[in-house]
């Protein structure tokens, strides 16, 4: 299990302080979101189980408003910055795990892909500060 060292990546491209407008719930400072698998730079053949690690917070269902808990979102090849004022997008690049999943079978076309986890609150907003994993790169053979 490789645990990435970075826990909180503040959204770099938001020049305004996120807290001023963000609608998300507050997150503890020591929350740590990381990939249990795959690790950064992994070369993978075919489909794989992506496993999500979270410390300092709990995983719950979307819609359940418990303090310090949220649900996972997996961002695949997403380059746009996270908008703290909007619910985390829902499309083919933003996979939602609102049923409380902590792992998912992921199938990607061959080539390089980036993966990043973002924790969303009951209403799918990013937390404040955002709880995101390091963005990792994997190569699919």
Partner 1 sequence: MRGEIRDINSNKSASPPDTGLPRRLAAIVAGDIVGYSRLMQLDEEGTHARVKRIERELIEPTIKEHHGRLVKTTGDGFIAIFDSPVEAVRCGIVIQQNMVGRNTSQPRPQWIEYRIGINLGDVIIDTHDVFGDGVNIASRLEGLADPGEVYISGGIYEQIKHKIVCGYESLGDRKVKNITDPIRVYRVLPDPAAFGRTRARRQNTLVVSLSVLLLGCAGGALWYFIAQTRGNIPYQTAAVETTPALLPSVEKQAALPVTPPPPQPAPAAVPETQPAPPPPAAKPVGEPEMITLPGGAFAMGSNDDITEKPIHQVTVKRFAIGKYPVSIREWNACAAAKACAFTATGNDDAPISNVSWSDARQFAAWLAETTGKSYRLPTEAEWEYAARGGTRTKYWWGEQLQPGAAGCKNCTEVAMAELPGKVGSFKANPFGLYDMGGTVDQWVEDCWHKNYQGAPANGSAWAEDSCPSHVLRSGSWRNDARYVRPSNRDSYDTNVRYPTHGFRIALTL
Contact flag: residue 113 with partner 1 (CB under 8 A): no
Find the shortest distance in angstroms from Cβ 40 to partner 1.
23
The stretch among 6-14, 26-34, 73-81, 85-93 that binds partner 1 (CB under 8 A) is: 85-93
Contact flag: residue 34 with partner 1 (CB under 8 A): no
- Pairs from 42-46 (Cβ < 8 Å, separation ≥ 24): 42/136, 42/138, 42/139, 43/138, 43/139, 43/141, 44/138, 44/139, 44/140, 44/141, 45/140, 45/141, 46/107, 46/140, 46/141
Find the shortest distance in angstroms from Cβ 36 to partner 1.
11
Give the nearer residue to partner 1 in terms of CB position, either 13 or 99.
Answer: 99
CA distance 83 to 5: 23
CB 90 within 8 A of CB 70: no
Contact flag: residue 25 with partner 1 (CB under 8 A): no
> Judged by CB under 8 A, which of 96, 115, 119, 133 binds partner 1?
96
Tokens found for residue 98: 């609102």
Binding site for partner 1 (CB under 8 A): 55, 58-64, 66, 69, 86-87, 89-92, 96-103, 107, 109, 123-124
């Amino acid at each position: 299990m490789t645990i990435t060292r970075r826990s909180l990546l503040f959204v770099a491209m938001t020049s305004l302080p996120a807290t001023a407008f963000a609608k998300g719930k507050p997150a503890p400072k020591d929350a740590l979101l990381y990939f249990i698998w795959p690790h950064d730079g992994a070369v993978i053949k075919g489909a794989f189980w992506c496993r999500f690690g979270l410390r300092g917070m709990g995983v719950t269902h979307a819609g359940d408003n418990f303090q310090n808990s949220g649900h996972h979102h997996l961002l695949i090849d997403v380059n746009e910055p996270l908008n703290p004022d909007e619910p985390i997008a829902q499309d083919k690049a933003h996979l939602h795990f609102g049923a409380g999943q902590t792992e998912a079978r992921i199938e990607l076309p061959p080539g390089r892909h980036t993966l990043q986890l973002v924790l969303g609150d009951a209403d799918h907003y990013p937390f404040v500060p955002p709880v995101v994993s390091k963005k990792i790169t994997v190569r699919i053979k």
